[in-house]
Amino acid sequence: MPAGMLIVGAGECGARAALTLRDQNYDGPVTLVGDESHFPYERPPLSKDAIVSEREPLPKFVGDRQHFIDRKIECVTSTRAIAIDRASRSVALANGSTLRYDKLLLATGAAPRRLSLPGAEGSRCAYLRTYDDALRVRRALGSGCHVAILGGGFIGLELAASARKRGAVVTVIEALPRILTRGVPEEIARVIDARHRAEDVEIACGRSVLTLREDSTGIEVGLSDGSSVTADLLIIGIGAVPVTDLAQGAGLAMENGIAVDEQLQTSDLDIYAAGDCCSFPLAIYGSRRVRLECWRNAQDQGVLAARNMLGAGEKVSAVPWFWSDQYDLTLQIAGLPDGGTRIVRRDVSDGAFILFHLQDDGRLMAASGIGSGNVVAKDIRLAEMLIAKRAMPEPAALAQPQVKLKSLLAA
């Protein structure tokens, strides 16, 4: 059997790559290897719909078994890839088999950062990465349940909102002075903080966890200010780390994840990496090397990696885009806000607003918006297009809601 295309990592990124190979009329073998028993599914619903839906939901599949059979994609589930032999261009699996490749894509994603404290792996502690993790959290929640959430980032706050919808009592513990310190402007973080407090979520910032003590009645979380929180469940959401052990074992270059070039090629010309596991130079930001943990990046890079495995030679060009749904609020960010030195605010409607992040020379680097539903979605999309064009719109025009961003794009 010919070697063909091998993809390790059966999440959104890996699945999109496999399907794109077929969309590009590649007719050789395509094999997708994943360590979960489920076929590829989307992860964003895990902190939201998987928790709050009335009935226990199935994963939101990228494609079911029959879809992959129809596309002649072999899915190897419930087993890990444990070693790459670059000389023979083969990958050893934990089930004892070996798969050869012509080109290999590593789409191994990221894993929750573990809390390095005694008791952090106890029965009343939970992490969220997989569908099975989400089911465990879902089954533990209920009216009157007290859940403590360690980490005031996207995952922690989305879980807080979901837990409140299920009737749980919620305490969020954040070691830094405010929530959402990573990539979210303070002005927007304040809106989200206030919304959670309005839903009776207790938010304890500036306090780190020193001790964990679990017994049959609950888990006591000892904090750095001398106080403690006693809960039925502690969900730990303190960030994610790229899954790189396979790549490191093969001697591939590393830099905040698997280091790839603008075409997602690693230091081995026959091996590519895409999604949460890799860092890459982003030309639109002066080839600044970034690693993005977001759904659309996983989609986009899965498609791009597949095309480049077939010789397209295309470079990463997408503007980073993030979003988070909490209660009735939707936060959207296009670009990298920390690249700006000046902020211009545009008030949209009903308390919604967008912050435009500009460089000293006037170039638009990012746009951050928040509001109910999709009220900021169109303008964030237009801002994304302005960022891609490296536009320098007039700050006064950005501030005026009656000036349509589409007219600035045309200009």
Last residue of a domain, one of 185, 218, 238: 238
Residue with tokens 């890990």: 80
- Residue 229 domain flag: yes
pLDDT in tens, 243-274: 999 999 999 999 999 999 999 999 999 999 99
Same domain, 172 and 202: yes
For 92-109, write each residue's pLDDT tens digit.
Answer: 999 999 999 999 999 999
What residues are paired with 30 via a beta bridge? 5, 73
Task: Let me know if residue 315 belongs to a domain.
Answer: no
Q: What is the edge-to-edge ordering of all strands in the sheet holding 228-231? A: 209-215, 218-223, 228-231
Residues 125 and 106 in one domain: no
pLDDT at 64: 85
Q: Which of 41, 377, 392 is nearest to 49 (CA)?
A: 41
Is 320 among the domain residues? no
What pLDDT, on the 0 to 100 scale, is given for residue 22? 97
User: What is the CATH classification number for the domain harbouring 396?
Assistant: 3.30.390.30
Residue 261 lies in a domain: yes
Indicate if 86 and 231 belong to the same structural domain: no
CA-to-CA distance for 160 and 174, rounded, in angstroms?
13
CA distances from 202 to 131, 152, 169, 209, 370 (A): 27, 11, 9, 16, 22
Whether residue 263 lies inside any domain: the answer is: yes
Measuring CA to CA, which residue among 93, 85, 82, 87 is closest to residue 31?
93
DSSP state of 73: E
- Whether 62 contacts 15, CB under 8 Å: yes
Angle (CA) 323-242-102 rounded to 5° is 105
Tally of CB atoms within 10 A around 370: 27
Q: Say if 321 falls within a structural domain.
A: no
Task: Centre a 10 Å sphere on the Cβ of residue 49 and count the other Cβ atoms it contains.
Answer: 14
- Give the structural domain span for 175: 114-238
Q: How many domains does the chain have?
A: 3
The answer to whether residues 222 and 248 belong to one domain is no
Residues 58, 103 within the same domain: yes
Query: What tokens were used for 24?
Result: 């590009």
pTM for the predicted model, two decimal places = 0.95
**Length of the chain, in residues:** 411
Q: Which of 197, 221, 238 is the last residue of a domain?
A: 238
Whether residues 144 and 189 share a domain: the answer is: yes
Do 227 and 369 share a domain, yes or no?
no
Asked whether residue 20 falls in the same domain as residue 95, the answer is yes
Could you tell me if 118 and 212 lie in one domain? yes
Q: For the chain, how far is it from start to end, CA to CA, in angstroms?
A: 56
The two structure tokens encoding residue 91: 């990958």
Residue where one domain finishes, among candidates 238, 272, 296: 238
Q: Are strands 364-372 and 98-100 parallel, antiparallel or unpaired?
A: unpaired
| Res 1: pLDDT | 55
322 lies in some domain: no
- 123 & 201 share domain: yes
Verify that 54 and 167 share a domain, yes or no. no
Tell me: do 276 and 175 sit in the same domain. no
Q: How many Å apart are CA 44 and CA 194, to the nearest integer?
A: 23
Fill in the amino acid letter for 71. R
Per-residue pLDDT of the chain (411 residues; tens, 9 = 90+): 578 999 999 999 999 999 999 999 999 999 999 999 999 999 999 999 999 998 888 999 998 889 999 999 999 999 999 999 999 999 999 999 999 999 999 999 999 999 999 999 999 999 999 999 999 999 998 788 999 999 999 999 999 999 999 999 999 999 999 999 988 999 999 999 999 999 999 999 999 999 999 998 999 999 999 999 999 999 999 999 999 999 999 999 999 999 999 999 999 999 999 999 999 999 999 999 999 999 999 999 999 999 999 999 999 999 999 999 999 999 999 999 998 899 999 999 889 999 999 999 999 999 999 999 999 999 999 999 999 999 999 999 999 999 999 999 887
CATH number, position 250: 3.50.50.60
